Amino acid sequence: MYLIVGLGNPGLTYKKSRHNAGFMAMDILCQKTGIKIKQKGFSALYGEGNIAGERVVLFKPQTYMNLSGNAVEQAMHYYKLPPENLIVIYDDIDLQLGTLRIREHGSAGTHNGMRSIIQCVHSENFPRIRIGVGQDKTLVLRDFVLKKPSKEEFKLLDVAFECAADAAILAVGGKLSEAQAKYNHK
């Protein structure tokens, strides 16, 4: 069984912001798999189903980004999952807009949501799919990630969300290295 987490902030204010890239990729994953995220629990919205013959829980924490680990920890404890069966999809300002980086494990980098998850699950050993949202050094970081991308930027991001969903499907099917080979490029 896998827990696939898309990171973002709840509420209409943040709905289409860069920081909600994980939520938007999760919406595409739901469309591709037919899994509906309608249940409430674990301080999150979630849905259960199957991908590539594996049972999965698609998960959107509702704790706000910086406390995402609390929700993830609750679900992992309930389902008795090891860290390796966690896949996290999230935004990354250090990547060019619309690019992906898929890793088997690693640090949180500058991402507070990932820092929270790593702290709560006591491990960095889980796959992650990072979606590049770029950055604008003329803006304060918080303002930039909470800002909505332009229509032109969304064209690139929509492709990235689609690829991130496909990469998650490959990862669940035991093909993480294939996902890396296919999507880890500029």
**How far is residue 74's CA from residue 77's CA, in Å, rounded to a whole number?**
5
Indicate if the alpha-carbon torsion angle 167, 171, 173, 175 is positive or negative.
positive
Judge contact between 98 and 161, C-beta under 8 A: no
**How far is residue 129's CA from residue 110's CA, in Å, rounded to a whole number?**
15
Annotation marks residue 19 as catalytic: yes
Burial degree of 11 (CB within 10 A; 0-12, 13-18, 19+) = exposed
Which of 19, 77, 111, 122 is flagged as catalytic?
Answer: 19
Would you name the residues annotated as active-site residues? 19
